[in-house]
Amino acid sequence: MAIESINPATGELVRRFQALTAGELEQKISIADDAFRGYATVPIAHRSLCMRKLANLLEEDALELAKIITQEMGKPLHAALAEVAKCAAACRYYAENAIRILAPEIIVTDASRSYVRWDPLGVVLAVMPWNFPFWQVFRFLAPALMAGNVGLLKHAPNVPQCALAIEALVRRAGFPGGTFQSLLIETSQVEGVLGDPRIVAVTLTGSETAGRAVAAQAGWLIKKSVLELGGSDPFIVMSSANLDLAVQQAVLARCVNSGQSCIAAKRFIIEQPIYAEFEKRFVAGMAAMRVGDPTLETTDIGPIATARQLDTLKRQVNAALTAGARLLTGGKKIEGPGFYFEPTVIAEVPRTAPVYREEIFGPVAMLFRARDLAEAIAIANDTPFGLGASVWTRDPAEQQRFTAEIQAGSVFLNKMVASDPRLPFGGIKHSGYGRELSAAGMREFLNAKTVYVA
Name the CA dihedral angle for 86, 90, 92, 96, rounded to a multiple of 10 degrees.
150
Burial of residue 319 (number of CB atoms within 10 Å: 0-12, 13-18, 19+): middle
Q: How far is CA 328 from CA 245, 371, 414, 426, in A?
A: 21, 21, 25, 32
From 228, 342, 358, 436, the catalytic residue: 228
Helix (H, G, I), strand (E, B) or coil at 86: helix
Q: By the 8 A CB rule, do 320 and 313 touch?
A: no
Nearest to 309 by CA among 182, 206, 386, 226: 206
Q: How far is CA 135 from CA 2, 128, 215, 266, 411, in A?
A: 25, 10, 22, 21, 21
Q: In 74-207, which ranges are continuous DSSP H helix?
A: 77-102, 135-146, 160-172, 190-195
From 262, 271, 342, 398, the catalytic residue: 262
The verdict on whether 358 is a catalytic residue reads no
Task: Report the C-alpha gap between 188 and 267 in whole angstroms.
Answer: 34
Name the amino acid, one letter, at 34: D
Task: Report the C-alpha gap between 139 and 348 in whole angstroms.
Answer: 37
Q: By the 8 A CB rule, do 59 and 85 touch?
A: yes
Instruction: Please list, in sequence order, all residues whose beta carbon lies within 8 angstroms of the beta carbon of residue 305, skipping any fewer than 6 positions away.
Output: 8, 73, 74, 130, 131, 158, 260, 339
Task: Report the C-alpha gap between 425 and 431 in whole angstroms.
Answer: 11
The verdict on whether 262 is a catalytic residue reads yes
Which residues are catalytic, by number? 228, 262
